[in-house]
Structure 1
Amino acid sequence: MAVLSKSFQEWLSGRRCNELLHPHTCRRAAFENLFRFAWSNSKYYLPVVLLHLGKHSLRSGGANREILLDTLWYYIQLVFGGVMDASLISISMCSLRKFLGKFHFYTLLFIPATFGGAFCALFPKRVKHLQHTAIFQALIESLLLHLNPLSKLLASSVSLQTVIFMVCSAVILEGKQRKWYNGFWFLTPDAPTDPDVPPQRKSCSHSELDCGLYIVRGIRNYLIIGLALDVFRYLVSSSKLNQWSLSHLNFQSTAWLGCYVGLYRAVHCYLQSIPIVNESLKHPFAGCLGGLSYFFYPKLTILSYALLEAIRTLSSKNHKTGESKKNRFGWSDLLFPLSLAYLIHNYVMEEQRVSALSGVIIDSTTANYARNISKRIARLQ
């Protein structure tokens, strides 16, 4: 980092905005960027709102006028939030250059990104939650890829990753069952057993009287969900590369989700039939063993998301529900701008320090603005 900083001072600090940031004047660039950022964020958030529409339509038995209007409003909020973040960051970069008279190593990207990211705290709750999820997950994955002994051991050991995912799976599923936290997770846990209601010819809490049927139905449903995810990912990647070969279509998500729900439900049903096992341990143990499925589909992106959701679950458990609803701002609002700034700064200056997911998020929400700066710096050096 010190070598990079010295090189920056020698070769880049005296450059003008139209040499490092954009080819036109700052005013024209700010105006043009509004349209570029709007188009980029519109494409990036479209799959999100389609999933949002599908989820709520399935819950209510169809898409009605209220769901369509809510989805449209959510889409507008997401795009507006992304444009605001990107515009504030790009305008701050030019403004600091004019105020200080030259670029500095941290005033080029880190400080403007911190300033722009701070306004995310004012966004609607669901918009803020989605932005926080994307950036925190990308940050965790980037930290896992760092070239230090611990991260290298974790990145190279699928067994260690699987153990961590198993623990996270147990925490998240237990938290969702006890309603500590209501964030998205790949599985929906079994409903807790009501001690006041006597079981009907079985000890499990599911509606099916036959556990085998319950397990098979779960596998079938999640195979369909995984298949939809795999096909959707194939369509997105093929449209970007303009290559429509079926060889690019794989069914890894399909197999993983089927295996995950199958293990979880089978273990839980089996433990429910063993009276000597403590009732409070049955569900966490089932969630933990269900996490063994990660071994067959090891992805740091999934592990980083599991770590994030496990942290959120434990954090929500330690806070009272009423207090969390009253508090408009929290620690995540302080961490988000710094995390965003860290990712953007390193993406431009040292791309190998951030994950591929970070690059996708940054490029997709800024119309490749950060990548273009990186290319100009490389040419000027």
Structure 2
Amino acid sequence: MVSLSKLLNQGLRDAKCYEVFHPGKTCSEFHFGKSRSLLIKCVKFFFPIATVPLILKGKNLRKKHVREAFEYYMELILTGFLISQQVPMAWCLVRRLSGKFTECNIVYLPMTLPTWTIFFISPRVARLFAASIFQVTFEAAIRNSKNKICKTFCNSKTIQALLFMTCSAFVLHTIQNYNVKAFWVVKSIPRPIESDIDAKCSHNGECSKFWLNDLAKNILIGLSIDVFKTFVGSITKTNSLFNAFGNKLVHLNFPTTFFLSSYSCIYKMTSCLLNQKSDMNGELKHIIAAFLGGISFFTLPKLTILCYIISISIEISWHLFERKKFKNNLKYLELLKRIPFHRIYTCLSVGYLVQMYVFHPEALSQLGLAMVSAFTGDQAPEMKAVFHNYIKTIKHNK
């Protein structure tokens, strides 16, 4: 594709907002014409995010958890709606204030400004947005990179698996030893209470029963998530819900079920076997078990999953940094804790993500495409098509 600077020189610079993004519509129609569809999109997009953690709780689910999930869900919907509603406004407003299109304000700036909402929401919701945005932005940056190292990384499942296994060891061991709260797909084995932690398993009963119960639990959770995701993905405007759901369910190979069950089973079986057969340090046993559990990445070898565990690792590292107390001569590090890096990063990354969608859509994963669609209220495909049609027009006229 022709570089953006050349397109601006060819005639895009002095174009009007209605020519590039909403031909045949006034700015007001473009701003508020799809408010209802924006709200529906947010309701659908955030529903699995709020409800899947409830499924993972299983028998431990209480009314308090349902109430908290509902409040969380409402805040997610409100935040997503406010951001997506402001996107078309920002597109037209930035163009009118600047008087012309530039490399900065044609996509990046109009997408960055609406995310100011992130600074006024609860820490829990802000961290979810930050983790999700980092995951898809990091993946898009790697996919779009021309660097040989990045290309090798994207094409090698073995390298991805080794990195996933390393992050798995870090995440599970940190959760066990430092009581860090992080939403990871596998629950860490509790730290042994006994003084002789190098010799005994921390679970009650026989190891074989512990493995089988854990395997059955994760199979049920995986089945629930796979079926649930298939059902939510079947909700469309054009097709019959149950026909679409039935067709997808027949061809479903239950990827989450195999991934969850194999991951947890390998991790916990290895931990028990090492406790019984090995004399090595207890913490080292757990690290090895968590590392080997990451072999399950080969059952679902997706770069998206790897980027997710990397984002979880960074989040945990930041939690550990926040807990650490520094001496007087390192007080500037204490100041770093007060800076909301995750909120700032979210604002800056959304613009990059949508710019990737417009100019390099092949770099985005399915999750990235879904997030762009949610942030723009399903208007991204339409705006992208109109934008590229206008580019073809000015190139043809030249």
TM-score by length of 1: 0.89
**Distance in 1, Cα, partners of 2:298 & 2:105:** 43
Q: Is the 8 A contact 1:36 1:367 kept in 2?
A: yes
CA separation in 1, counterparts of 2:290 and 2:53? 26
> 1:109 and 1:278 mapped to 2: Cα distance?
54
Q: Distance in 1 between matches of 2:20 and 2:253?
A: 40
Letter in 1 for 2:98: L
| TM superposition shift of 1:281 | 0.7
Partner of 2:329: none
Higher deviation after alignment, 129-138 or 140-149:
140-149
**Counterpart in the other structure of 1:299:** 302
Q: Does 1:283 align with 2:286?
A: yes
* Cα contact 1:234–1:248 (8 A) shared by 2: no
Alignment of 1:69-88 (within 5 A): 69-88=67-86
CA distance in 2, matches of 1:267, 1:350: 43
Report the counterpart of residue 4 of structure 1 in structure 2.
Answer: 4
Does structure 1 residue 13 correspond to structure 2 residue 13?
Answer: yes
* Other structure's SS at 2:33 match: helix
| Structure 1 position 116, deviation (Å) | 1.9
Alignment map for 1:118-267 (pairs within 5 Å): 118-146=116-144, 147-196=146-195, 203-207=200-204, 209-240=205-236, 242=239, 243=244, 244-245=246-247, 246-267=249-270
Q: What RMSD over aligned residues (CA atoms) do the two structures have, in Å?
A: 2.6
Q: Indicate if the aligned counterparts of 1:88 and 1:116 stay in contact, CA closer than 8 A.
A: yes
Give the Cα separation in 2 of the matches to 1:52 and 1:198: 31
**Deviation at residue 349 of structure 1 after TM alignment:** 2.2
Decide which moves more: 173-182 or 336-345. 173-182
Deviation at 1:33, TM superposition (A): 4.0
Q: CA deviation at 1:197?
A: 7.5
8 Å CA contact 1:45–1:75 kept in 2: the answer is yes
Asked whether the equivalents of residues 130 and 346 of structure 2 are also in contact (C-alpha less than 8 Å), the reply is yes
8 Å CA contact retained: 1:78, 1:127: yes
Describe the superposition over 1:276-329 as per-residue Cα deviations: whole angstroms up to 9, x where unpaired.
Answer: 2112211111100010111232111111101111122222223317999x9665
Q: Deviations over 1:92-143 (max 9, x none)?
A: 2211111111222220221122222233122112221221122111112212
Amino acid at match of 1:376: V
Residues in 1 aligned to 2:94 and 2:197: alpha-carbon distance in whole angstroms: 68
Deviation at 1:28, TM superposition (A): 3.3
Any gaps of 5 or more consecutive residues in structure 2? 327-333, 393-398
Partner of 1:316: 319
* Alignment map for 1:50-65 (pairs within 5 Å): 50-54=51-55, 58-60=59-61, 62=62, 64=63
Q: Which moved more, 1:288-297 or 1:243-252?
A: 243-252
Distance 1:8 1:44 in 2: 35
TM-score under structure 2 normalisation? Answer: 0.86
Whether the 8 Å contact between 1:44 and 1:365 is mirrored in structure 2 is no
When residues 237 and 33 of structure 1 are mapped into structure 2, their CA distance, relative to the original with a 3 A threshold, is: closer
Give the share of equivalent positions with the same residue, in percent: 26
State the match for 2:367 in structure 1: 357
* Aligned mates of 1:320, 1:222 — CA distance in 2: 32
Question: 1:136 touches 1:336 (CA, 8 Å); kept in 2?
Answer: yes
What amino acid does structure 1 have at the position aligned with 2:274?
L
Picking from 99, 102, 108, the partner of 1:101 is 99
Q: Distance in 1 between matches of 2:357 and 2:142?
A: 15
Asked if the contact 1:118–1:336 (Cα under 8 Å) also holds between the matched residues in 2, the reply is: no
The number of equivalent residue pairs is 374
Flag structure 1 segments of 5+ consecutive residues without an equivalent. none
